Chains A and B, each alone.
Chain A
Amino acid sequence: MTEVTSDVRVIIAVAGKDWRGELRSRQLPIGAAFFGAVTLFVFGFALGPDRAALAQAAPGLLWLALILAGMLVVSRLQQLETDDGAGEQLALYPASRGAIYLGKVTAALPFLLLLGAVLLPATAVLYSVVIGPALPALVATIVLGSFGFAAVGTFYAGLTARMRAREILLPLLLLPVIAPLLLAAVRATVAALAGDPFSEVASWLGLLAAFDLVMVAVGAATYGTVLEE
């Protein structure tokens, strides 16, 4: 019991430190949300003014924008550790590696959810999609998708943090791994927006949840070896 409590305290401490820093400067939440919105806007130019085509592509574009902006979130949060050598101190800290990893995942989560909260209405406005009736399913998809992204993204941001060419390496490693997340999240969004005619939203959400669990377990088990080196 005490071990669990101390792990929870480590998670809160690690996440809280990142939240305080980023909320004070506000660079990360504003920058990432703005980048995501601009991405959605530019997709509109790429696809042309055909409203039906845009509405059809909207779920995929929403998730691409979320993932591209989410990449900024996880790499920025990792940058906090590398900039002033804080990561080495964190590694020396006598806490379980898994708890430090979960702390970093927890730190990323609210920023990713904020992205969802900004980009979902932006998608509705820019691509004329009606999200109202599908809102509960969409929120569930964004929560599960953000968690899975945070789990994998935090892991790879930590892995590449001290490598050469990390800006190139992070998306290159991350995108293939989250391919099933993208697929499941987009399918769930498509089905939810269509009113779930074939009751498939729950299946895709189940797949997302399974992805989240597997990735967070592997991340917690191996993040320590990456951190220790």
Chain B
Amino acid sequence: MNRAALPVRLLGIAAVLTIGAATWYGLFVVPPDLNQGDAQRILYIHVASAWHAFFSFGLAAAASVGWLIWRNPRFDAAALAFAEVGVLFTVSTIWAGMMWGKPVWGTYWQWEDPRLVTTALLLALYLGYLLVRRLTDDPVRRATRAAAVAIIAAVDIPIVHFSVTWWRGLHQGPTFGNPETILNPPAPGAFVTALLFMLFGVILLWAWLIIRRYQLARLEWIAEEAAQRAAVGVPA
């Protein structure tokens, strides 16, 4: 069994084709926005990435709670898959946001945007999560420590978002609600189609990545347990 099972392979192929077509549609078919011009094309991939990033981290926290309650290694493998794929999509989200922010807002980084700051902190929290995993060798300890980190991150994020929203509300007038930069698509239908198209493609890709990362995590866990048993001299 050197390759993925047939349904998973088909899923991967479908993801590549859909994302390719959605990219083509978003870049060449949709007309430029009346206010934002071509920069608006970044939003399709930005929004699709962001939704999957937040969704992944929510599931990672849920799987972590599952590990702490039931101590089933499948929960740990799932938490790792969600967290790692979530980090990938968070980086994509921030990168797209910066590439969009420079032409539209005039700056790569906007401190007063609660979503941006929250997303960046989410990235920092889950990079810490992955680091804790790397620096713990025993699989059971690793799962427990990582689960605790994921739960802290999950309760921290709403407070972060709330505090940054408040910070802006108390100290800053509208910078990015400027009517010059608000989206004004000449063909709203095409805009929505492009967004949904990309969203659909990213769902397929996300599912493929989660399945494959989960499988890898399971294989690694089993190999580690076997190595551990061998080291203490217990027959498998």
- Asked if chains A and B are in direct contact (CB within 8 A), the reply is yes
Give A residues with C-beta under 8 Å from B: 152, 155, 159-160, 163-165, 169, 172-173, 175-177, 179-180, 183-184, 187, 198, 200, 203, 207, 210-211, 214-215, 218, 222, 225-226, 229
In the assembled complex, the CB of B68 is this many whole angstroms from the nearest CB of chain A, namely 6
In the assembled complex, the CB of B19 is this many whole angstroms from the nearest CB of chain A, namely 31
B161, closest chain A residue (CB): A180
Contacts A159-B132, A163-B132, A172-B128 aside, 11 further interface pairs with beta carbons under 8 A come to A155-B148, A160-B132, A163-B135, A173-B132, A176-B121, A176-B156, A180-B164, A198-B170, A214-B155, A229-B140, A229-B145
A211 partner, pick from B125, B132, B145, B159, beta carbons under 8 A:
B159
In the assembled complex, the CB of B76 is this many whole angstroms from the nearest CB of chain A, namely 13
B residues 165-193 touching A (CB-CB < 8 Å): 166-167, 170
Q: How many angstroms between the C-alpha atoms of A160 and B134 in the bound complex?
A: 12
Task: Determine the chain A residues whose CB is within 8 A of the CB of B164 once the complex forms.
Answer: 180, 183
User: In the complex the two chains form, is B131's CB within 8 Å of A169's CB?
Assistant: yes
Task: Determine the chain B residues whose CB is within 8 A of the CB of A210 once the complex forms.
Answer: 159
User: In the complex the two chains form, is B166's CB within 8 Å of A155's CB?
Assistant: no
Chain B interface size range: 20 to 34
B127, closest chain A residue (CB): A172
Task: Determine the chain B residues whose CB is within 8 A of the CB of A222 once the complex forms.
Answer: 68, 148, 151-152
User: In the complex the two chains form, is B160's CB within 8 Å of A179's CB?
Assistant: yes
Task: Determine the chain A residues whose CB is within 8 A of the CB of B147 once the complex forms.
Answer: 225
User: In the complex the two chains form, is A179's CB within 8 Å of B121's CB?
Assistant: yes
User: In the complex the two chains form, is A163's CB within 8 Å of B136's CB?
Assistant: yes
Q: Does B124 interact with chain A (Cβ within 8 Å)?
A: yes
Q: How many angstroms between the C-alpha atoms of A176 and B122 in the bound complex?
A: 8
Q: List 20 A-B contacts (CB under 8 A).
A: A155-B148, A159-B145, A160-B132, A163-B136, A175-B124, A177-B125, A177-B156, A179-B160, A180-B156, A180-B159, A180-B160, A183-B164, A184-B163, A187-B167, A187-B170, A203-B166, A207-B163, A215-B152, A215-B155, A218-B152
Known A-B contacts A177-B156, A200-B170; the reply to A229 vs B131 at CB < 8 A is: no
Closest 5 CB pairs of A and B: A176-B124, A180-B163, A173-B128, A180-B159, A222-B148
A198, closest chain B residue (CB): B170
In the assembled complex, the CB of B112 is this many whole angstroms from the nearest CB of chain A, namely 12
A219, closest chain B residue (CB): B152
User: In the complex the two chains form, is B144's CB within 8 Å of A226's CB?
Assistant: yes
Task: Determine the chain A residues whose CB is within 8 A of the CB of B102 once the complex forms.
Answer: none
Q: How many angstroms between the C-alpha atoms of A222 and B151 in the bound complex?
A: 9
Q: How many angstroms between the C-alpha atoms of A203 and B169 in the bound complex?
A: 13
User: In the complex the two chains form, is A169's CB within 8 Å of B121's CB?
Assistant: no
In the assembled complex, the CB of A84 is this many whole angstroms from the nearest CB of chain B, namely 21
User: In the complex the two chains form, is A173's CB within 8 Å of B149's CB?
Assistant: yes
Q: Count A-B contacts at CB 8 Å.
A: 81
Q: Does B162 interact with chain A (Cβ within 8 Å)?
A: yes
Known A-B contacts A177-B125, A187-B167, A214-B155; the reply to A164 vs B135 at CB < 8 A is: yes
User: In the complex the two chains form, is B144's CB within 8 Å of A229's CB?
Assistant: yes
In the assembled complex, the CB of B139 is this many whole angstroms from the nearest CB of chain A, namely 11
Q: How many angstroms between the C-alpha atoms of A184 and B148 in the bound complex?
A: 24
Task: Determine the chain B residues whose CB is within 8 A of the CB of A225 once the complex forms.
Answer: 68, 144, 147-148
Q: How many angstroms between the C-alpha atoms of A210 and B151 in the bound complex?
A: 17
B132 partner, pick from A169, A175, A203, beta carbons under 8 A:
A169
Task: Determine the chain B residues whose CB is within 8 A of the CB of A152 once the complex forms.
Answer: 152
Known A-B contacts A159-B148, A172-B131, A173-B132; the reply to A214 vs B159 at CB < 8 A is: yes
Q: Does B81 interact with chain A (Cβ within 8 Å)?
A: no
Q: Does B141 interact with chain A (Cβ within 8 Å)?
A: yes
In the assembled complex, the CB of B233 is this many whole angstroms from the nearest CB of chain A, namely 22
Task: Determine the chain A residues whose CB is within 8 A of the CB of B163 once the complex forms.
Answer: 180, 183-184, 207
Q: How many angstroms between the C-alpha atoms of A210 and B166 in the bound complex?
A: 14
User: In the complex the two chains form, is A177's CB within 8 Å of B170's CB?
Assistant: no
A176 partner, pick from B128, B135, B166, B170, beta carbons under 8 A:
B128
In the assembled complex, the CB of A127 is this many whole angstroms from the nearest CB of chain B, namely 21
B171, closest chain A residue (CB): A187
A226 partner, pick from B121, B125, B148, B156, beta carbons under 8 A:
B148
User: In the complex the two chains form, is B152's CB within 8 Å of A155's CB?
Assistant: yes
Q: How many angstroms between the C-alpha atoms of A101 and B109 in the bound complex?
A: 39
